[in-house]
Structure 1
C-alpha cells in the first residue's frame, strides 16, 4: 500500500519499489512506474497501484477419483503481474487518494481465477485416476496438468498475469480411508519389526549357545589338562620315589659294603691282635716257666706293689715284724731256701 500524506490541500505519494503506480488526471497519464514519489491533488487524480513482485498463493480443494473416493489437494502457485497496465485496465487496482488503500479486492479476484483454473485441471486428472494411483503418482501428474493448464489459459495473459511455478504439496484421502490404507503398511512394518525382533532373538540365542559351547569346551579342555597334570604329577612322584628308592638302595648297599669291610677289617685286626697277644702270652708263659719260684714270687710282689695304693709312711711294730718273720721262716718255700743256703 502506498504511503500518502496531506500538505495544504496537496497529497504526496511514495510507493514501494515493488509497486507499479499509475497516475491519471482528466484521463491523461501523468506518472507511471514502480517506486514513484510525487505530489498530486486528490480531487483530480486517479491512482492505481499494481504489485509487481512474486506472490505465493496457497490453495486447497477437494476432488473425487475414478473409484469415487474423496481426496484433498494442497497446492501452491507462484505468480506475478508482468503487465501492470493491462492488469490495471482489466482489474480494479485503484487506490483511495487520501489513505492509499485499494478500493476493491483485485488480489482476491486473481486468487479466485488461479484457484478455479487449477481446480478445474486437477479435477480433470483425478477423475480418471484411481485412489491408489493418485496417492502414488498423482502429485506429479496433477502438477504437470495444472502447469500446462495455466500455460494454455487465455485469461491470464489477457489480464497481465504470469504463473511462475506450480507446486502440489500433497494429495490426501479422507481420514477414515487414510487409516484403512495405512493398516496394511503398518501391518507389514509390524511384521518386519517382529521378524527383525525374532531374528535378533535367534541371533542372540545362537550367540548364547556358541558362548555356552565355548565355555563347555573350555571346561572340558581344562579338565583334560588337569587330568594330564594329575597324571604327570603321579608320574613325577613315582619317578621321584623310584629315584629315591634307587638312591636309598645304592646308599644302603654302600653302607652295607662299608660295614662289611669295616667288620672284616676289625675281625682281621682282632684276629691279628689276638694272635699277637696269644704269642706274647705264650712267650711270657715260656719265660716264666723257666724261672725259679723265688724269682716269680719277687715278680709277683713287685707287680703287687705296683698295683698297691701309694703309701706315704709305714710303721712297723715289733710284733708285726716278729710275726712276719715267723711266717717267712715257717713258709715251705722259705725253709727250702734257707736249707739250701
Structure 2
C-alpha cells in the first residue's frame, strides 16, 4: 500500500517495490512505474495502485463426472499482473488520496474472474471421465492441463493477468460415495489384518503346542528317570538287604560254629576233667584199697576237718576227754586184736 503524506495544498505519495503506480492528472498520464514517488494535487489527481507480486487464489471447484457423480477439486492458482497498465484500464484499482487504500475491491473482482477461468479449465480437463477414472488420474498432469487452458483464456489476458501455476489437491467425491468407495479397500485391509491376526494366533498356538510337547517330553523323561532311580534304589536296597542277610548268615554261622567249637571244647575239657577226676578217684581208691583202718580213719578225720566250720573256741570237759580217751583206747586195742 502506498504511503501518502499531506502538506498544505499538496501531497506526496511514495509507492512500494511490489506495486505499480498510475498517476493521471486532468486525464493525462503524469507518472507511472513500480515504486514510484511524486507530488500531486488531490483535486486534479487520479491514482491507481496495481500489485505486481505473485499472489495465490484458493478455490473449490465441483465437477460432475460422466457417471453423474460430483467431485470436489481444490485448486490453487498462482497469478500476477503482467501488464499493470492494462489491468488498471480494465479494473478499478484507484486509491483514496487521503488514506492510500483502494476505493473498491479490485482483487475480489480479479479473483472472481480467475475462479471462473479455473472452473472452466478444470471442468474441461475432467470432462468425459467416470468417477473411477477421475480418481485414478495423475493430479499433476490434470493441473498442467488446467494451467494450459487458463493461459489461453482471453478474459484473463484482457485484464493483464498471467497465470504462473495451477495446483490441484486431492479430488474427493461426496462423503457417502467416498465411504462406499473406501469400503472394499477397508474390507481388504481388514481381511489382511484378520489374516495376519489368524496367522499370528496360529503361530502362537503352534508355539504353545510345541512348548506343551516339550514340557510333556520333559515330564516323560523325568518320570522315566524317576522310575529308573526308584528301580535303582530298590535294587540297591535289595542288594543291601541280601548283603546284610548274607553277612548275618555268615555271622550267625560263625557264631554257631564258634559256639559249637566252644561247646565241644568245653565238653572235651569237662570230659577230660571228669576223666582225670575219675582216674584220680580210681587211683585214690586203688591207694585206699591196701591202706589200713588207721590210715582210713586219719584220712576221714582230715576230710572232716577240712569240711568242718571254723571253731574259734573249743571247750573240753572232763567227760568229753574221758569218753574220747576211752574210745581211742578201746578202738586201738580192737584193731590190734583183729590184726593178731
CA shift at 1:301, angstroms? Answer: 1.3
Bigger shift: residues 237-246 or 187-196: 187-196
Q: Distance in 1 between matches of 2:272 and 2:144?
A: 146
Q: Distance in 2 between matches of 1:290 and 1:62?
A: 175
Q: Distance in 2 between matches of 1:209 and 1:159?
A: 80
Asked whether 1:274 is paired with 2:302, we answer no
Distance 1:11 1:257, change over 3 A: farther
Q: Distance in 1 between matches of 2:93 and 2:155?
A: 17
CA shift at 1:147, angstroms? Answer: 1.9
Q: Which position in structure 1 is the counterpart of 2:31?
A: 30
Cα distance per residue 1:147-183 (max 9 Å; x no partner):
2223434554564433333211122222332233233
**Aligned pairs (5 A) from 1:108-257:** 108-137=108-137, 139-153=139-153, 156=156, 159-257=159-257
Cα distance per residue 1:260-303 (max 9 Å; x no partner):
33333333333333333333333333333333221221122123
Distance 1:295 1:89, change over 3 A: same
Instruction: Give the aligned length.
Output: 339
Cα distance per residue 1:291-318 (max 9 Å; x no partner):
3221221122123223322222211111
CA shift at 1:145, angstroms? Answer: 1.0
Contact 2:121–2:147 at 8 Å: present in 1 too? Answer: no
Q: Distance in 1 between matches of 2:290 and 2:162?
A: 182
Q: TM-score w.r.t. structure 1 length?
A: 0.85
Q: Which position in structure 1 is the counterpart of 2:335?
A: 336
Asked whether 1:62 is paired with 2:57, we answer no
Q: TM-score w.r.t. structure 2 length?
A: 0.85
Unaligned runs of 5+ in 1: none
Bigger shift: residues 56-65 or 249-258: 249-258
Contact 1:23–1:32 at 8 Å: present in 2 too? Answer: no
Q: Distance in 2 between matches of 1:77 and 1:142?
A: 13
Q: Distance in 1 between matches of 2:38 and 2:327?
A: 200
Distance 1:229 1:15, change over 3 A: farther
Q: Secondary structure at the match of 1:260?
A: helix
Q: Distance in 2 between matches of 1:103 and 1:266?
A: 159
Q: Secondary structure at the match of 2:73?
A: strand
Distance 1:14 1:300, change over 3 A: farther
Distance 1:198 1:330, change over 3 A: same
Cα distance per residue 1:237-276 (max 9 Å; x no partner):
2222222222222223332333333333333333333333
When the two chains are superposed, the root-mean-square deviation of aligned CA atoms in Å is 3.0
CA shift at 1:95, angstroms? Answer: 0.8
Distance 1:94 1:321, change over 3 A: same
Asked whether 1:46 is paired with 2:46, we answer yes
Q: Distance in 1 between matches of 2:90 and 2:234?
A: 118
CA shift at 1:216, angstroms? Answer: 3.3
Unaligned runs of 5+ in 2: none
Cα distance per residue 1:64-115 (max 9 Å; x no partner):
2122222221111122334444433443222111121212332123222322
Q: Distance in 2 between matches of 1:337 and 1:56?
A: 190
Q: Secondary structure at the match of 1:103?
A: coil
Q: Distance in 1 between matches of 2:302 and 2:94?
A: 187
Q: Distance in 1 between matches of 2:212 and 2:172?
A: 54
Contact 2:55–2:79 at 8 Å: present in 1 too? Answer: yes
Distance 1:266 1:28, change over 3 A: same
